[in-house]
Chains A and B, each alone.
Chain A
Amino acid sequence: ILDDPDLKDIDPTVLKHCHAAAATCILEAGKQKADISAISACLEDCKLDKERIEQFCTEYQRTELITVVSFSIGRSPLHITDVSWRLEYQIKSNQLHKTYQPSYLVTLNVESSDSGSHPDVSFSCTMEQLQDLVGKLKDAAKSLERATQM
Chain B
Amino acid sequence: KLNVGVDTVQHGVEGLTYLLSESSKLMISETDFQDSIHVLGFSDELNKLLLQLYLDNRKEIRSILGELTPKLPSYHNLEWRLDVQLASRSLRQQIKPAVTIKLHLNQHEDQTAQVLQTDPSTLLHLIQQLEQALGEMKTNHCRRIVRNMK
Are A and B co-members of a single complex? yes
- Say yes or no: B25 contacts A95, CB within 8 Å: yes
Chain B interface residue count, Cβ-Cβ cutoff 8 angstroms? 58
Instruction: Indicate if the CB atoms of B125 and A82 lie closer than 8 Å.
Output: yes
Q: How distant is the Cα of A49 from the Cα of B33 in the complex, in angstroms?
A: 101
Nearest CB of chain B from residue A26's CB, rounded to whole Å: 13
Q: Closest CB of chain B to A100's CB: distance in Å?
A: 6
Q: Mark B65-94, 1 if CB is under 8 A from A, else 0.
A: 110111111110011101000001111111
Return B123 CB to nearest CB of chain A, in Å: 6
| 27 residue pairs from A and B, CB less than 8 Å apart | A31-B92, A32-B93, A73-B91, A76-B117, A77-B115, A77-B117, A79-B117, A80-B116, A85-B129, A93-B68, A93-B69, A95-B25, A95-B65, A95-B68, A99-B66, A123-B72, A124-B74, A129-B75, A131-B134, A132-B75, A133-B75, A133-B78, A137-B130, A140-B101, A140-B123, A144-B82, A144-B99
On A, residues with C-beta under 8 Å from B are 30-33, 67, 70-71, 73-74, 76-83, 85, 87, 89, 91, 93, 95-100, 102, 104-106, 108, 110, 121-125, 127, 129-134, 136-141, 143-144, 147-148
